């Protein structure tokens, strides 16, 4: 029997991850609860004093991206942790598939999980901070979220595997991922602010272009180096 091709094997890895997630809701529940807590803490931070004259449109972009960044760390660490417990990552490595495909599969799964998280997070942030979005702004927001979250997952999947190989959890992953993702977070905050202020996306083309460049750079960098992480 021939080993499956790149796309098939990445799909199989992604499907396995999604199936596990669907049956346990393990990652989603831990990171969603964490994200809601982050939103809640920001409520305390900005409720009184100097921040009073800021509107929801001023607050939501920053708060939303901080919540996404922190909870993605929790989510990715969680999903890698379950691979480590059963030593299933080395089992995957021994299977006759392209190592890049394992990365791609895990990346797809992580992206879907983060998207499911954002599905909850965005409405909650809007409600908590009293912002509003009209009509097409939703589509723009989805585009911005997709562009910037992809890079976060691309880098997070690589770093998550590295951290799981040395057996340390969230703290080390946060130390690696959050500073590295500074450009993405800046792009995300700027573009989301433009959406909430009702501006056209053309005003932030440069930022979206940078997010796309970052996505591609880290996707290919991780695709090329992932096999060295898994190696025995």
Using CB under 8 A as the criterion, what x/- string covers residues 165-204 for binding other proteins?
xxxx---x--xx--xx-xx--xx--x--------------
Q: Which is nearer to other proteins, 1 or 166 (CB)?
A: 166
> First CA to last CA across the chain, in angstroms?
25
228 lies in the site for other proteins, by CB under 8 A:
yes
Shortest reach from residue 123's CB to other proteins, in Å = 28
3-class secondary structure, 231: coil
Shortest reach from residue 224's CB to other proteins, in Å = 9
Out of 60, 107, 158, 223, which residue is the one contacting other proteins (CB under 8 A)? 158
Out of 13, 162, 208, 223, which residue is the one contacting other proteins (CB under 8 A)? 162
- Per DSSP, 18 falls in state H
Pair 191, 181: CB distance under 8 Å: no
Shortest reach from residue 20's CB to other proteins, in Å = 25
Shortest reach from residue 166's CB to other proteins, in Å = 4
Of 176, 15, 23, the residue nearest 108 (C-alpha):
15
Of 55, 50, 76, the residue nearest 160 (C-alpha):
76
Q: Which is nearer to other proteins, 200 or 231 (CB)?
A: 231
CA distance 169 to 158: 14
For residue 202, the Cα-to-chain-centroid distance in whole angstroms is 24
Total residues at interface with other proteins (CB under 8 A): 30
73 lies in the site for other proteins, by CB under 8 A:
no
Q: Which is nearer to other proteins, 68 or 173 (CB)?
A: 173
CA distance 224 to 226: 6
221 lies in the site for other proteins, by CB under 8 A:
yes
CA distance 215 to 191: 16
Who's near 52: CB < 8 A, 6+ residues apart? none
Over the range 145-171, which residues count as b (16 or more CB within 10 Å of their CB) and which as e?
bebbbbbbbbbbbbbbbbbbeeeebbe
231 lies in the site for other proteins, by CB under 8 A:
yes
Q: Which is nearer to other proteins, 145 or 176 (CB)?
A: 176
Within 118-157, the residues that bind other proteins by CB under 8 A are 155
Q: What residues line the site for other proteins (CB under 8 A)?
A: 155, 158, 162-163, 165-168, 172, 175-176, 179-180, 182-183, 186-187, 190, 206-207, 210, 213-214, 217-218, 221, 225, 228-229, 231
């Amino acid at each position: 029997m021939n080993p499956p091709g790149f796309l098939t094997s990445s799909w199989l890895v992604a499907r396995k991850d999604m199936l596990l997630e669907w049956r346990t809701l393990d990652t989603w529940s831990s990171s969603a609860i964490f994200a809601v807590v982050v939103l809640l803490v920001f409520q305390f931070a900005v409720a009184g004093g100097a921040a009073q004259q800021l509107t929801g449109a001023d607050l939501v972009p920053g708060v939303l991206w901080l919540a996404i960044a922190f909870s993605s760390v929790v989510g990715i660490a969680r999903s890698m942790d379950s691979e480590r417990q059963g030593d299933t990552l080395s089992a995957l490595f021994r299977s006759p598939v392209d190592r890049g495909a394992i990365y791609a599969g895990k990346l797809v799964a992580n992206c879907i999980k983060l998207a499911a998280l954002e599905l909850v997070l965005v409405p909650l942030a809007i409600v908590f901070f009293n912002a509003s979005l009209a009509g097409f702004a939703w589509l723009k927001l989805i585009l911005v979220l997709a562009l910037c979250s992809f890079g976060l997952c691309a880098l997070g999947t690589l770093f998550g595997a590295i951290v799981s190989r040395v057996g340390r959890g969230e703290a080390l992953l946060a130390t690696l991922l959050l500073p590295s993702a500074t450009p993405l977070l800046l792009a995300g905050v700027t573009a989301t602010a433009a959406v909430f202020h009702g501006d056209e996306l053309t005003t932030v083309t440069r930022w979206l272009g940078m997010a796309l460049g970052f996505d591609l750079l880290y996707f290919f960098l991780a695709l090329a180096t992932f096999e060295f992480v898994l190696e025995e």
